[in-house]
Chains A and B, each alone.
Chain A
Amino acid sequence: MVDKATEIKSVKVDGTPARGSFIQAVAAVVWKDLRAEFRSRELFSAMLVFSLLIILIFNFALELDVKTRRSVTAGVLWATFAFAGTLGLNRSMAIEKDRGCMDGLLLAPVDRSAIYFGKVISNLIFMLIVEVIVLPVYSALYAINLFQPGLILVILLGSIGYVSVGTLLSAMSVQTRTRDILLPILLFPVAIPVLLAAVKASNGFLTGAEWAEILLPLNLLIAYDVIFIAVAFMVFDHVVEE
């Protein structure tokens, strides 16, 4: 991972104003994650296969006949995204830690929150790519049209909230002794409000509920996203300090 260090350095060397350099630093973190992933594809393929397997397991576990399908689709989708997301979050931080990239990132003269937002965005991109593939597969397998603009908006908002807490917690959990098992235990109970609002809103769109009924969970989802991002942004410095 030599290229990453040089990239960060190049961001700093050209001496752009502070605001621009912050965005550039975020972009550099995202870019190095995407490039590394594009080369190995280990994270993405694991998340994708895992989420397809979860859908299969739900098929056996719930006997998804036409009638129950309608009512449980939102729950199955979000459970799938949550599990696959944990896998990705864990791996993406563990890579940083194992290859010593985290130390390199921390040595780089950029704001710590730039690292946080960079990781959030790259994790979000991975999660969204997986979701973009899972949605048509699910639609085809269970003959439900999931391509509704409202549902996609909910999935985007829910993923943002989930990833923003998840990135913070995975940065913590990789620094512990029990790191492989700790992330879901830490993340799930804290992320429940986001998942709850997301499931409710998705369910509203899938069952064709009235707009007023969907608006409440949607607003809650946006509020939770803002709250979690704000808190994570404020405390991230304490997670990575040495």
Chain B
Amino acid sequence: MQPKPVALKVLDLASIILLAISTYLALVFAPTERVMGDVQRVFYFHIGTAWTALLGFILAAVFSVIYLIRKDLKWDRFQVAAIEVSLVFFLITIVLGSIWARPAWNTWWTWDPRLTTAAITELIYAAYFMLRQGIDDPDKRASFGAIYALLGGLSAPLTFFAIRLFRTIHPVVIGGTNPEADGGFSMTADMRLAFFFALFAFTVIFIDLFWNRLRLGDLQDNVEQLKLKVSM
């Protein structure tokens, strides 16, 4: 059993502390928004997770390209780690958004460009893991995963772009209510502090989880090789 590096242990601890501070800032420190009430506090974590998840998906597409050029399984493990953590974070983003939308827009879900793209993105990366599960050969699994992550990373922004373009050109589809305007608010200085702190905290948490997941990937690789060695 490989001991955790000290840096990772420090990062683990820092993540927990940052999460606690960020929670305090979001729940207590920031003032209550007047129109929407307490539910607006969900917004800080919503943006924090969304930002890191999108960053992770973009990173995954970059790792895809690097893997396809270099053919080094290290980049495959980077990619899996990034996508898995992002998938979890993005799920939180969607659930939080939905919870916020219920009192703010009076519905759990609307087929607005962002929500639709978010749902499709989540499905793409769920499919990514289903694809990987069906392949035993590590090199093939890595190649196929990289190709699919690349296609997915390309397709998701295209979808967003397409829906957004069509919906703004056909305002009838939206039905008169523009969700972006409905529920918008201006941040006070305290809110802004909580907001930027949440962004920072979730970035650190993301890196920490990513690192932990990366070590898990290395371990998986180790065990797989040992299995091959033993079975021979």
Contacts and interface: CB of A to CB of B under 8 A. Distances in A.
A224 interface: yes
B131 interface: yes
Given A190-B151, A193-B159, A227-B154, A235 B166 contact: no
Interface string B126-166: 01001101111000100110111011101100110111011
Contacts of A149: none
**Interface residue SS majority, chain B:** helix
A77 interface: no
Contacts of A220: 162, 165
Contacts of A175: 135, 140, 144
B120 interface: yes
Contacts of A200: 162, 166
Interface residues of A, number: 32
Contact of B163 (A172, A182, A196): A196
B165 A216 contact: yes
Chain B residues touching A, range: 20 to 34
Given A196-B162, A238-B143, A239-B144, A189 B134 contact: no
A113 to B, nearest CB: 14
Interface string A227-239: 1000100010011
Given A185-B127, A193-B159, A235 B135 contact: no
A189 B124 contact: yes
B134 A192 contact: no
Given A196-B163, A227-B158, A238-B68, A176 B135 contact: yes
B226 interface: no
A179 B133 CA distance: 11
A231 B134 contact: no
Contacts of A178: 130, 133-134
A146 interface: no
B16 to A, nearest CB: 35
Contacts of A239: 143-144, 147
Nearest to A223: B158
A217 B166 contact: yes
Contacts of B127: 185-186, 189
Interface of B: 68, 120, 123-124, 127, 130-131, 133-136, 140, 143-144, 146-148, 150-152, 154-155, 158-159, 161-163, 165-166, 169
Interface of A: 165, 168-169, 172-173, 175-179, 182, 185-186, 189-193, 196-197, 200, 213, 216-217, 220, 224, 227, 231, 235, 238-239, 241
8 contacts: A165-B151, A168-B147, A175-B144, A177-B135, A189-B152, A190-B155, A216-B166, A216-B169
Report the 9 A-B pairs with minimum CB-CB distance, sorted nearest first.
A176-B134, A193-B158, A178-B134, A177-B134, A189-B124, A190-B155, A238-B143, A189-B123, A193-B159
